[in-house]
A and B are shown apart, each in its own frame.
Chain A
Amino acid sequence: MPWSKIKPKHNEPNYHTDHELSGRRVTYTEAIREGLRQALSIDSNVFIMGQGVDDPSGMFGATQGLQEEFGGQRVFDTPLAETALTGVAVGAALGGMRPVYFHNRPDFLLLAMDQLVNHASKWHYMFGGAVPVPLVVWACIGRGWGSASQHSQALQGLFMHVPGLKLIMPSTCFDAKGLMLSAIKDNNPVIILEHRFNFSQKGMVPEEIYTVPIGKGAVRRYGKDVTIVAVSYLVFEAFKVALDLVSKGIEVEIIDPRTLRPLDEELILDSVSKTGRLVVVDTGWKTGGVTAEIAAMVAEKAFGFLKAPIARVACPDLPTPAAHALEEAFYIKKADIQKAVLETVHYTG
């Protein structure tokens, strides 16, 4: 089963970047692992737990070798008890530690919702700021290989709903490392949702320790005609659409929010105020999800700039099917994004 080992297939495209592309080209897996290793090295309160973190192929290799290097006290396998272990992470955080709790799939986080939503997200506010809860929960969205309904869910919409949780969805190797280090450094509960497809890329990553600010998005491409806000690996798909549309004289601007909560509203609004057209693209469901929230936010705050209805491209409101043909029909593709962009650009009222 080609689940846990994903061969990096391509280099990240030439996204616009505000930082110098220093460092060396590494895989997405290596970028995360390097961030974790550095966090473990500089702060003795950091520890990593999760079912399979000591498994050489666990977590797509992101935690590989860390137990050997830092010992079984700081990097350890856990029982499959997501509720209690999330509470254990909360308690350890209250006791001054900085836990990083790994899950192979976000689907399993549904078992941890009581501790994430009723406890981790509330402990600081509910007690008037008496004690912080610095913890990181990491999970990777599955896709393909007939994973079906319970091993492929993109649940960011659920987590985005909850005040008190920070929610990160990186799309580049640079951000995967820098946001991991920011998440561990943050004094609050942070969820990182990865996407399996991100692991097929390589990108430029500096060797040294650095952080990427939580709550700041990135412009991946500048354009004047239409804004695409794309989440996680869909930034890559949106970028391909943008390149294809150059020949049609359409200049697409691509925003990668990187953090869904807090959301960099300013970056999105600035872009929409320039282009007047918005397509929001997400790996999750459409109803009540990320595309709904971003579209509503823009309609609320930048209605006057809009020249066309906001388009949303997201998965249909269905559980994920297993059969390949059904998967193909279920997941959104480059063509879906392109179609939405063209409709938005050609909208005449």
Chain B
Amino acid sequence: MLRIREVQLRIESLYHLDEMKTPIHLCIGQEAIAVGVCAALQKDDYIVSNHRSHGHYLAKGGDLKAMIAELHCKKTGCAKGYGGSMHLIDVSVGHLGSSSIVGGGVPIGTGLSLSIKMKEGKQVCAIFFGDGAADEGVLYESINFAMLKKLPAIYILENNQWSVCSHVSTRQAGENIFHQASQDLLVTSKIDGNDVLKVYEAACQAVKRARNGLGPSFIECKTYRILGHAGCRSQDPKGYRGQKEVESWEKQCPVTNFAELLRKESILAEDQYIGIKQKISSEIDDAFAFAMESPLPTEEDLHKHLFRE
């Protein structure tokens, strides 16, 4: 979590320099969801992500250098500079891609789950989407299909309450309809998405159910988008939400609260924490240096990759 937070803070602090010429969607405040879920997964399990993609990618084990290079649209990026920040992928760790069409990755993850079942594999697929995607009809279609076929799919609703500048209460009539589902068809839960242990626990149950061939799960993680929809702090639009609301959620920070817990339980000593932070910081230095040194794609690359031979 700390690593994801630190990576994002670095991106945020450098974004105004305009070296990263791609729209960024930071998940500061939401790190516990990616981490809690991916900690319950194996390397060969699949995930599908969305435009707010950084946390999922790193939590699943995606290569940091390739991610930062992709944010600089470099040839060495995880999508070779064709995707940018919203389209991270690392097939080697089961990350099969991120769609920036809200809800677009949901049926794709469902299809990956179908492929697992058809190949009689033991993997599962975790599908990350936000409350904006829960506005979309494709979620209903996808989960219905997953229930029908008892697919090893885990639907992770990251309810950060804001879709750009629209609050969930202006978009949804009430609680998500899937919480009404019969629990043998779809195990649903509604948890504190800022508590990494609760997320991990719910994800472990969902993974177990999926691996046993019992079907999909739906985990709604309540959280909050601390920064604006896109860009860095100075680019946040103002006036659509109250400062007090933001501050109250900053107090529920998943990273600092978990570090506090580890200290309290005497699992993490202060010098250890500082050591970890320094190690992360130098890893981020290296990743940015790698990205800056990497070549940009050239005109000759334009027509590559439209089709696979």
Contacts and interface: CB of A to CB of B under 8 A. Distances in A.
B177 interface: no
Contact of A94 (B104, B112, B119, B307): B112
Question: Which interface residue of B78, B91, B112, B148 has the most chain A CB atoms within 10 A?
Answer: B112
Contacts of A97: 114-115, 118-119
Interface stretch (A77-85, A287-295, A318-326): A77-85
Given A119-B99, A125-B306, A81 B111 contact: no
Nearest to A132: B308
Contact of A79 (B78, B91, B141): B141
A119 B78 CA distance: 18
A311 B78 CA distance: 48
Interface in A114-160: 114-115, 118-119, 123-134
B141 A83 contact: yes
A91 B46 CA distance: 11
B106 interface: yes
Nearest to B153: A91
B215 interface: no
B264 interface: no
Interface in B257-276: none
B308 A93 contact: no
B121 to A, nearest CB: 9
Contact of B307 (A87, A118, A124): A124
A39 to B, nearest CB: 15
Contacts of B145: 78-79, 81, 84-85, 88
Contacts of B113: 91
Interface stretch (B81-89, B162-170, B190-198): B81-89
Nearest to B118: A97
A132 B138 CA distance: 23
Nearest to B304: A129
B154 to A, nearest CB: 14
Contacts of B80: 128-129
B238 to A, nearest CB: 31
Given A47-B118, A87-B110, A127 B307 contact: no
Question: Which interface residue of B46, B82, B115 has the most chain A CB atoms within 10 A?
Answer: B115
B110 A91 contact: yes
A127 B119 CA distance: 25
B81 A128 contact: yes
Interface string A234-252: 0000000000000000000
A115 B107 contact: yes
B305 interface: yes
Given A87-B111, A93-B111, A97-B118, A114 B104 contact: yes
A97 B116 CA distance: 9
Contact of A188 (B116, B304, B307): B307
B254 interface: no
Contacts of A22: none
Contacts of B125: 91
B281 interface: no
Contacts of B96: 91, 94-95, 131
B144 interface: yes
B101 interface: yes
A270 B141 CA distance: 48
A114 B308 contact: no
Contacts of A92: 111-112, 114-115, 118
B161 interface: no
A88 B110 contact: yes
A187 interface: yes
B114 A88 contact: yes
A73 B104 contact: no
Contact of B97 (A94, A129, A163): A94
A204 interface: no
Interface string B104-137: 1011111111111011000001000000000001
Nearest to A189: B307
Contact of B306 (A47, A89, A118, A164): A164
A87 B104 contact: yes
A13 interface: no
B308 A94 contact: no
A124 to B, nearest CB: 6
A242 to B, nearest CB: 34
B175 to A, nearest CB: 22
A188 B148 CA distance: 28
Question: Which interface residue of A89, A92, A115 has the most chain B CB atoms within 10 A?
Answer: A92
Contacts of A87: 104, 106-108, 110-111, 138, 142
A97 B145 CA distance: 17
B79 interface: yes
A84 B83 contact: no
Contacts of A79: 141, 144-145, 148
A8 B245 CA distance: 70
Contact of A73 (B97, B101, B107, B118): B118
Contacts of B107: 83-88, 90-91, 115
B58 interface: no
Given A87-B106, A134-B308, 15 more contacts: A85-B107, A87-B104, A91-B112, A91-B113, A91-B114, A91-B125, A97-B119, A118-B99, A124-B307, A125-B82, A126-B82, A126-B97, A127-B87, A128-B77, A131-B91
30 contacts: A78-B145, A79-B148, A81-B141, A81-B142, A83-B107, A83-B141, A84-B142, A84-B144, A85-B141, A87-B104, A87-B108, A87-B110, A87-B138, A88-B108, A89-B111, A91-B108, A91-B109, A94-B111, A95-B115, A95-B116, A114-B101, A115-B104, A115-B107, A119-B99, A124-B306, A124-B308, A125-B82, A127-B83, A132-B308, A134-B308
Q: Report, nearest first, the 3 A-B pairs whose CB atoms are least far apart.
A: A91-B111, A87-B107, A95-B115
